[in-house]
Amino acid sequence: MSRKKERPGGPFGPQKNKNEKFHPALLEELNKAGLNTDSLLYCITGDMDAEQCYSSCWVSFDEKGLYLAFGTEELAKAGKHHTPVTPVFTVKEIRSIPIDDIDSLDTESYLSTGRLILAKDGVQEPVVWFSIGLVGKFADFAKVFNTYKETGEVQLPPEDGHEGSKCKKCGAPCPPGKEYCKKHTKSSATAVRLIKFFGGHVPEITVIVLVMVASSVAQVLIPQISTRSLYDNVLSNPNSLPQAELVKALGTLVLSIVGIRLLNMGLTILQQYMSATIMPKVMYDIKVKIFEAMQRLSVNYYSSKQTGALMDRVMRDANNIYWFFTDGIPRFIIDGATIIGVLVLMIRMNWRLSLVAVAAAPLLLVSIVLGDKLFRRMHHKVWVLSARTGSMLSDNINGQRVIKAFAKEDDEYDKFSAVSKDLRNAEVELAVTEATLFPILDIVVMFLSVFVLGYGGVMVARGDGTMTTGTLLSFIVYLEMLKEPFGFMAWVTNWWSRCADSATRVFEICDADPDITEKENAVSLDNIRGDVKINEVDFEYEPARPVIKNLSLEVKAGDMLGIVGKTGAGKTTIANLISRLYDPKAGSIEIDGVDARDLKLDSLRKNIGLVSQDIYLFIGSIADNIRYAKPDASMDEVIAASKAACAHDYIMKLPDAYETRIGAGGQRLSGGEKQRISIARTIIQNPKILILDEATAAMDTETERNIQHSLQQLSKGRTTISIAHRLSTLRDADYLAVIDHGSIVEYGRFNELIEQKGEFYKLYQIQTEALKTIAINDAAPDTAQGEEENSDERSDN
């Protein structure tokens, strides 16, 4: 592993590591307080003191000692958006501990805090507290310090993204690699990225927007004809026109209205047709982009996110974006154009009356915004209670067997009824409030209309030609027409927030960096022998919680290594590291003498087969699943692999044999049957290195015995690393390693370990005793007896 080694004096220069750079103003303060900052080797910032009180804390060490400085850090008032803030530091106290008084440093994690602890001559002493979010940072500090104590070198930990940076605007924590927290991240950036998805459809989008504007214009024109012209030109003075003229004028008006309505309808159909053809294409692009990004991501990403949440992202978030762009944007354009068009026409018709109407518009907006705030709380309550009801329902359906076994149907009914009642009450409250408050909006518009009617009526009555009856009635219609677009405009920001929220989550996946990456100059091993070497590997899933500690192992090509240990000892982690589903934190794993990180991922994984306890078969036929690793495998190969895996006989008993549909919704298979398919699948893959991770753990003894034969067939001639609880499955191992707390506690051949009478012997004794107790000897004499015979044989060797 190419880790940077820094010599003393390096923490403040430009570097790509996790050593913090103290702010120049802080360095000045520390110097003033008597600390020689030039010699500091490694520094971090904490947030608590030795008494667990919040306080700025700067922890560092040099070749003479460990230093803890306590004080305050105040951020000067932020300037305009994205203007970096200047911190002001005050150092109140510096505590120095001579380096010779410390043997090592360590961290402990509690519920929401952690503590740095020093050890001297086996006696521990607490040093300083910190918030739990800083545990990775302090654990790295302890590690760097301990390495320095041992070797005299400062080995800086690689940047791993454990720690986020602070927002330049408000100082709040923000995700790694981001300069601003989400609060200060502009949603316009998200909008720009979203709009880029429409880049390939600019001509169509332009036409759609024009069509929408035209449709709005047509809509706005209707009152001009249906109300104003009808009243002013025809109905205001019907007796002055001859009958034929009157009919003709009326006919023209009616035909005009029909024409405009038809035109409007035609434009709407055109717009919807064009949107309908573009939006699915854009959504396809977005979904494919998310899916592609998800395939790129490492297993670690999937372990830290719930499957449901990920599915939700792909489906719900994409749909949220879809509906905003399909419904929200067109309405925004149409309503925006309607508001502008109506206002222009109103001003043209009578600017005085328009001013009266426009002056009242803020009143309308304020009522809408206030109403929206109130309804938002209520909608949120309904949403949360509805989600709770949904979860309870799903929990109930999934737990039906247990509910019935414990005869708890009535209790479950009561629980569901109580939650449903809360939801009902919340919905009633919302509906009642809506029913009460919505009319208020109508009342505001009504008063406005009445006022306009009164004021306009006076103008009409004056008869000075400033206002006609038709114009006044058109005004009233236009006011009514403004109500809905104004309401939409007040609400569309929320809709956009939801869409931007979804888009941010989508982009978060697209932007996520996979933990496992392939080097640019990675090599491909076409014909690997299968030597596996694990060199002093350290690994942790969470900061400061090591799972594998300084572990070294070697398996020669074609040999079988058995790994034994208690649950949680780190056995499966070793399998994950060899397959490079994760990278070690320190040390390396070599395949045929080449660091796994220098190998092409494709080349590595094609040569490593994994048969695990968790069998996953995809939706499709049995044959398709068996040839998953090699889709062009012939049926001869599939049948031969199934026979080798002892799967052929039972497959042939199924009505559709190899074409039986399995996976979700398909033929139900037992654990043993599924495992045999997975073994056949691995035989077709033909890997040089085989990892058996508790392959038979979930099976009964008889099935295990059958599967064992399949596994023996599979491991012939391959480097095999077999992880198992049951020692009976490891009888063929050339070597055995006993793992405990991430380290090897025993290593050797079967008989050697038995003779040692150590951990392995204890496990062996326990299992043999257990087998005797549950009378397995009687039920399956071959297995237990075989194992005993086997052990005798080995002991004799």
Partner 1 sequence: MNDRIIDEERQIIAPETLSTEYVNADSCAFHKSDKGFLAAEINGEKYDRVVLLRALPLTFPDEYICITDVERKELGIIEKISDFSPEQQELINDELSKRYFSPVITEIKSVKEKFGNFYFDVMLGDIKRNFTVKDLTKNIRYHGEGFDLIDVDGNRYRIIDYNGIPAKSRRKLEPYLY
In the complex, the residues that contact partner 1 under the rule CB under 8 A are 52, 54, 110-113, 123-126, 131-134, 170-173, 181-183, 187, 373, 376-377, 380-381, 384-385, 387, 426, 497, 500-501, 504-505, 773, 775
DSSP string for residues in 423-443: HHHHHHHHHHHHHHHHHHHHH
Q: Which is nearer to partner 1, 181 or 753 (CB)?
A: 181
DSSP for residue 797? -
Nearer to partner 1, 9 or 84 (CB): 84
At its nearest, how many Å lie between partner 1 and the CB of residue 161? 14
Closer to partner 1 at the Cβ: 126 or 717?
Answer: 126
- In angstroms, what is the minimal distance from the CB of 771 to partner 1? 12
Please check whether residue 560 is in contact with residue 733, taking contact to mean a CB–CB distance below 8 angstroms: yes
Nearest approach, Cβ of residue 702 and partner 1 (Å): 22
Q: How many CA atoms lie within 13 A of 482 on its CB side?
A: 28
Q: Which lies closer to partner 1 via its Cβ, residue 415 or residue 749? A: 415
Residue 542 vs 614, nearer CB to partner 1: 542
Q: Indicate the residue among 54 and 284 with the shorter CB distance to partner 1.
A: 54
Contact 44, 59 (CB under 8 A): yes
Instruction: Provide, rounded to whole angstroms, the least separation between the CB of residue 786 and partner 1.
Output: 21
Residue 129 CB, nearest approach to partner 1 (Å): 8
- Could you give the C-alpha distances from 637 to 23, 668, 714, in angstroms and in order? 66, 24, 14
> How far is the C-alpha of 159 from the C-alpha of 136, rounded, in Å?
11
Shortest reach from residue 377's CB to partner 1, in Å: 4
Residue 497: CB minimum distance to partner 1, A: 8
For residue 59, what are the β-bridge partners? 44, 68
Which of residues 225 and 426 has its CB atom nearest to partner 1 in the complex?
Answer: 426
Q: Is 674 helix (H, G, I), strand (E, B) or coil?
A: helix
Beta bridge partners of 88: 74
Neighbour tally for 345: CB within 10 Å? 19
Cβ(678)–Cβ(617) under 8 Å? yes
Quote the least distance from Cβ 124 to partner 1, whole Å. Answer: 6
DSSP code at position 729: G
CA angle in degrees (0–180, nearest 5) for 500-506-512: 130
Nearest-5° Cα angle at 344, 339 to 345 = 100
Q: How far, in Å, are 643, 647, 672 from residue 652 at the CA level?
A: 11, 9, 16
Q: Which of 688, 748, 756, 699 is nearest to 724 (CA)?
A: 699
The distance of closest approach from Cβ of residue 113 to partner 1 in the complex, given in angstroms and rounded to an integer, is 5
To partner 1, the closest distance from the beta carbon of 385 in angstroms equals: 7
Nearer to partner 1 (CB atom), residue 110 or residue 273: 110
Q: Check: CB of residue 48 under 8 Å from CB of residue 112.
A: no
Q: 25 or 387: whose CB is closer to partner 1?
A: 387
Nearer to partner 1, 374 or 443 (CB): 374
**Distance from C-alpha of 279 to C-alpha of 322, rounded to nearest angstrom:** 7
Cβ–Cβ under 8 Å, residues 714 and 738: no
Whole-angstrom distance, CA of residue 42 vs CA of residue 50: 20
Strands annotated E in 76-194: 87-98, 104-109, 113-120, 123-131, 154-155, 165-166, 173-174
Closest distance of CB 701 from partner 1, Å: 18
Nearest distance in Å: CB 133, partner 1: 3
Helix (H) or strand (E) holding 621: strand 620-621
Residue 487 has a CB neighbour count (10 Å cut-off) of 19
Nearer to partner 1, 71 or 485 (CB): 71
Per DSSP, 658 falls in state G
HSE value, Cβ hemisphere, 13 Å, CA-based, for 744: 20
Q: Which is nearer to partner 1, 166 or 533 (CB)?
A: 166
